[in-house]
Structure 1
Amino acid sequence: MKSMKKRLFFASVIATLALSLTACSTVQANKVSNGVSASQQIEDWKPYDEKGEMIRGDRGGIGKVGVVSTGKFEASKIGREILRKGGNAIDAAVASGFALSVCEPNSSGLGGGGFMMIRIAKTGETIFIDFRERAPKNATPEMWKTDKDGKVIGNKKVEGGKAAGIPGEVAGLLYALEKYGTMSREEVMRPAVNLAKNGFIVTPTLSTDMKNQFDMMEKYPETGKVFLTEDGFPYEVGDKFVNEDMAKTLEIIIEKGRDGFYKGEVAEAIVNSLNKYDGLFTLEDLANYQPIIRKPVSGTYRGYEIILSPSPSSGGAIVIEILNILENFNVGELDVNSPEYLHLFSEAYKLAYADRAKYMGDSDYIPVPMKGFTSKAYAKEIAKYIDMNKAKPSIAHDPWQYESEDTTHYSIADSEGNMVAITKTVNGLFGNSVVADGYGFVLNNEMDDFVTGAGHPNSVAPGKTPLSSMSPTIVLKDGKPFMVLGSPGATKIISTVSQVISRVIDHNMGMQEAIDAPRLYDNTSDTINVETRVSDETVKKLQEMGHKVNVTSDWDRGMGSVQGVMYKEDGTLEGGADPRRDGKALGF
């Protein structure tokens, strides 16, 4: 019986993959599906057409009062409705965050964590909230058994109890609401409860992710009970997905606040479910969790102020390092995605990613050269290493001399100048594959972001935050709001965010245009990755310059999923959402 079930499942996967490939080859950027324009923003909008193929246009949204851009239409709609009811951008962000926990469980959720950047219009203050997952008190560098090659035995760094860090999402969202919001938990969370109870339509992205994790869902029955159909199969595109257990959990949080998650029945379910699969959690780990308020890292790029995430994210400092390197070249004179343009970005990425790999970790535990990373003098010095005619290997330099995965992102901005950027995650697809039994949410596998063994800046320690690349970003022009953006994509977040910022500033692109443009990625592997919309002639020229080139796909989901909002000169807000996944921006 199980063998037949597997055969039927793999037949379904092949059909879905064929459908996806067809979509990639037939649907072009900025093309409106079925004659529906972005301005109409119909209430039953979907990121795919009647054939189940992903559409690549109709993702943006324009507003005079506010714009909400998230990775899911349902969450954007809920956030927009909060703004319509008089809530501020923080209220809308919290409402959208809990909604994403329901409708994007493959990428984020109550069992995960993240970073939040907030700008308060009245004061001009920028606040960074670190609600990232942290290592439990019993965690040590020796917690995973390794083989002779140093590889963790039994995949326990990725799945099961020892893969999970203490989740911070509930604490972070509720802290923001209580400190900076204007509405009650009931008002901002009720829409997410209704979404879980009434269900939402499964997209090609979610269906594919469920199929990719089918084996894990069968291996961990608590997870299969939530994310597989009654017949034991992954959901198909167009199916309705209902999560009554998640609705129950959200109701408890509405009633009891953070104690409803970090203490009592939900906390007990988290500990019991993780420790059933070799976990190390205690109730004390959960009860003691607190978000951390940190000072953002900031820099400038051609006169624009760039405000990003500090350590333990590597994203902020390394994005600034990349932009500082690029500032030594006249990027605006290069055609976007020309061989020279791609070569320059590739070389800048290799330099910055080499520094990241050598020096980055949680600055609460080890020294990190943040001033060096963000120093323009340092960037000017290492930019001399770049030869505009040929590729060079990635080499880490010495920023100390200048010292004096899968995820979601969403951005919200309003006409008063309030901005919120949130990147949150459960790390891998469906996290560590373990659901808190009876409560409908999967736990993260964020412990995989630590290195294995002791002695590294990113080694495990009790309470330590693993290194991240998440980069929720705010950009100001002459001290006034200009842009808010971010992306999922593990280490590719850094390259993706820096590209979008440069394309807006150096090439005067609009928000959606900058998001849609073909992307590249390079790091210490010295292989430049480009989407197939980059021409064959360009790829050939890069190879002649000495680059190893890997051509990926038309719309490479792995290169991030940017959601952003830009303040235009005429006073309108332009929201952009990434067609590489399910994103949709809505404004009013």
Structure 2
Amino acid sequence: MNSKYLLTLSICFLGLVACKTTQPNSQNTTLQKPAENQGFYQFTNEDPNASPFFAKKASVYGKNGMIIATHPVASQVGADILKQGGNAIDAAVSTQFALAVVHPAAGNIGGGGFLVYRDKNGQSYTLDYREKAPENASRDMYLDENKNIKAGQPSWLGHLASGTPGSVDGLEQAHKRFGKLSWKQVLQPAIDLAENGVKLTAREARGLNNVKADLLKYNPTKTYFMKTDTAKWKEGEILIQKDLAKTLRLIQEQGRKGFYEGETAKLLLAEMKRGGGIITQKDLDNYHAVWREAVIGNYKNLKVISMPPPSSGGIALLQLLKFVEPYPLQKWGWHSDSTTQVMIEAERRVYADRSKWLGDPDFAKVPQKELLDAEYLKKRWQDFQFAQATDSKIVKGGDIIGYESPETTHSSFVDKEGNAVSITTTLNGSYGSKVVVDGAGFLMNDEMDDFSIKPGVPNVYGLIGNEANAIAANKRMLSSMTPTIVEKDGKLMMVLGTPGGSTIITSVFQVFLNVAEHQMSMQQAVDALRFHHQWMPDRTTFEEGAFTEKTLIRMRERGYKLDSQKNTIGRMDCILVLPDGTYEGGADVRADDTAVGY
């Protein structure tokens, strides 16, 4: 090992980390810089047909605004609002209500979410409208007398799985504070879509067909989202939702009162009573979204603005970026063995910290500052070495003095003035708890599963929680949602976010690096194949084709468990501001996600 390399290692991690390594091997490939695609470094290897992309999709550009959402109709709704003189918040609110109609798997008024907003002057705001545990919820509500999880009563299905919804209150608060158009105007598109119907995409038709058995089980007397005969839904058929239109009109006329009080509230409470749910009128009355201080940090010359707890996304993303910042990722190459190794090891430690420390800050003392402290991160990295994978069984959440020991949808918005919104919202599982509120026509969430039902026991996404995320009345459950905005030199650069359960954080992490380090365009960064590691279980899953065979051999020789999967990871909807001020939209090719710019 030469002296120059020893010097490099000695100052790695900006002088903070004592790296115990052997010389890392670079991927045995040739890096080429195609002239036509904004400097993206694409690898070539033993397979001349290999591609780093899930599929290739053309970028969308706009000078006056950009909307990206998980459904083409919802994206168009947002774009139309901008064209009518609305701002990014107006477009975001209108799009979210539209998604409750056109994308019932995750768009919702019966769930919750997080919003990150950066105005044209660079001021940042975050809004937490995450669901809350009902007042009658208790720590051991899913456990039997022996403290084991009750058989036949999952925390992700049925009426008892639902937390108090936050979407309507949150969207109203965002609009009241920053909206430009009238509340009536931004609600009208969703009402029209529910009343007149929307054409099903192939993906939406398939989803409704797949969920039919669960809908019948938990809604035995209802026909919502089902055809009147036994035939299956087909692409292009019209889904009409009259009861949902009625509910949306009440919200349009009365604001939050049209959901948390009156007729809709009565229908929701009757549904809870019918199925053994525990949400009460008091829960609805007491629900209020919370404006919180953004988590802000830097990666080299970029400023990262993200969501604080009860989202784990912001803290986790900044930890990941700080761990890998000292390394020459661009020189090593996209998904080379060395680049992949430091990213996996960072993810391993960050998800362990997530499990131990993160929860609702109104209930648990979350050591946010300490988790991002340079000396703390240095200690977390001390046992990393290139020669061998770290064993997750010996990786625990870090020690901090003074402290006791996956269906979502994302949308990104920018208007002509440069106001930017990043929203991630969810019912938790696909189609939430599978319970539809009779007479109101909307699905309820199954967010109670995002608590630590029993500390140390994985939830449906395999995530392990601890005391900080134990169930308590009126507490918000921990989330992986990571709506994020990035600045460069004081100016807006990126709007990022994705659905994906536990893979949200790592997907945002990778797309950020794809642009910041590997010089991809935004659409390329979104299309690029992804991988995921979450501490436990101790394995890395990756989209088929994400690594060359040589990289897989080298990683496995060092003890890494890597498993290809046919399921996709994340569905990123992101915006990049180009040097001339043009917005580039990157809508994920993995689903119906659509960018609309003008």
TM-score range, shorter chain: 0.7 to 0.9
Matches of 1:541 and 1:467, distance apart in 2: 36
Residue in structure 1 matched with residue 556 of structure 2 by the alignment = 543
**Partner of 1:165 in structure 2?**
163
Pairing 1:119–2:122 present:
no
What amino acid is aligned across from residue 407 of structure 1 in structure 2?
T
Q: 1:444 matched to which residue of 2?
A: 445
2:539 corresponds to: 527
C-alpha displacement of 1:519: 0.3
Amino acid at match of 2:89: I
In the TM superposition, what is the alpha-carbon distance from 1:198 to its structure 2 partner?
2.1
Q: Say how many residue pairs are matched.
A: 529
Report the alpha carbon displacement of residue 537 of structure 1 after superposing the two structures with TM: 3.1
- Within 5 Å, which residues of 2 pair with 1:133-172? 133-146=131-144, 150-172=148-170
Q: How many angstroms apart in 1 are the aligned matches of 2:379 and 2:347?
A: 15
CA distance in 2, matches of 1:233, 1:456: 47
Report matched runs for 1:551-566 at 5 Å.
551-553=564-566, 556-557=567-568, 559-566=569-576
What CA RMSD, in Å, does the superposition of the two structures yield over aligned residues?
Answer: 1.9
Contact 1:470-1:488 within 8 A present in 2 as well: yes
User: Which residue, 498, 516, 520 being the options, matches 1:509?
Assistant: 520
> How far is 1:385 from its partner?
2.5
Between the aligned partners of 1:58 and 1:196, the Cα distance in structure 2 is 30
Partner of 2:210 in structure 1?
212
Tell whether the 8 Å contact from 2:140 to 2:147 is kept in structure 1 after alignment. no
- How much has 1:236 moved relative to structure 2? 2.6
Structure 2 gaps, min length 5: 1-53, 456-465
Aligned partners of 1:69 and 1:585 also within 8 Å: yes
Name 1:99's counterpart in structure 2: 98
8 Å contact kept, 2:354–2:397: no
- The answer to whether residue 593 in structure 2 is matched with residue 583 in structure 1 is yes
Distance 1:87 1:223 in 2: 41
Check 1:372–1:165 CA distance in 2 against 1; reply closer, same or farther (3 A cut): same
Corresponding residue SS for 1:495:
helix
Deviations 1:229-270 (A, max 9, x none): 111455233322111111111111111111000001101111
Compare the two structures and name the one with the higher helix fraction. Answer: 1
Alignment deviations for residues 517-566 of structure 1 (CA, whole Å, 9 cap, x no partner): 1101011122011111223333222212211111012xx43x21111111
In 1, the alpha carbon distance for the partners of 2:73 and 2:372 equals 38
Q: What residue is the counterpart of 2:108 in the other structure?
A: 109
Deviation digits for residues 80-120 of structure 1 (CA, Å, limit 9, x no counterpart): 01111110010000011101111111013010000001111
2: CA distance, partners of 1:492 / 1:414: 29
Give distance in 2, aligned partners of 1:223 and 1:497. 41
**Partner residue of 1:400?**
400
Q: State the AA in 1 paired with 2:545.
A: R
Please state how far the C-alpha of 1:148 moved relative to its aligned partner: 5.3
CA contact (8 A) 1:426 1:444 kept: yes
Unaligned runs of 5+ in 1: 1-54
Task: Quote the Cα distance in structure 2 between the aligned partners of 1:340 and 1:223.
Answer: 56
Contact persistence 1:415–1:573 (CA under 8 A): no
Alpha-carbon distance in 2 for matches of 1:373, 1:85: 44
Alignment of 1:261-272 (within 5 A): 261-272=259-270
Task: Specify the code of the residue in structure 2 equivalent to 1:516.
Answer: D
Matches of 2:347 and 2:119, distance apart in 1: 32
User: 2 CA distance for matches of 1:232 and 1:440?
Assistant: 21
For the residues of structure 2 that align with 1:127 and 1:235, how far apart are their CA atoms? 41
Correspondence for 1:193: 191
% identical equivalent positions? 37
**Which of 459, 480, 491 is the equivalent residue of 2:491?**
480
2:338 maps to 340
Distance 2:475 2:232 in 1: 35
CA contact (8 A) 2:85 2:181 kept: no
Aligned to 2:509: 498
In 2: Cα distance, 1:153 partner to 1:67 partner:
47
Determine the C-alpha separation between the residues in 2 that align with 1:207 and 1:435. 18
Aligned to 2:421: 420
3-state SS, counterpart of residue 480 of structure 2 = coil
Q: Is the 8 A contact 1:217 1:223 kept in 2?
A: no
The 3-state SS of whatever aligns with 1:166 is: coil
User: How much does 1:147 deviate?
Assistant: 7.7
Distance in 1 between the 2:441 and 2:523 partners? 34
Q: Is the 8 A contact 1:320 1:373 kept in 2?
A: no
**Partner of 1:433: helix, strand, or coil?**
coil
Instruction: Give the TM-score normalised by structure 1.
Output: 0.87
Alpha-carbon distance, 1:366 to partner: 1.1
List structure 1 segments (4+ residues) > 3 angstroms apart after TM superposition.
Answer: 55-60, 145-149
| C-alpha distance in 2 between matches for 1:109 and 1:211 | 19
2:174 aligned residue? 176
- Counterpart position of 2:579: 569
Q: Distance in 1 between matches of 2:283 and 2:396?
A: 37
Task: Mark the CA change 1:234 to 1:263 in structure 2 (over 3 Å): closer, same or farther.
Answer: farther
TM-score by length of structure 2 reads 0.85
Kept in 2: contact 1:389–1:545 (CA 8 A): yes
Cα deviation code 1:141-188 (max 9, x no counterpart): 132243858223223411122110000101111111111001112211
**Residue 49 of structure 2 aligns with which residue?**
none
Following superposition, the deviation at residue 402 of structure 1 comes to 11
More moved, 295-304 vs 154-163: 154-163
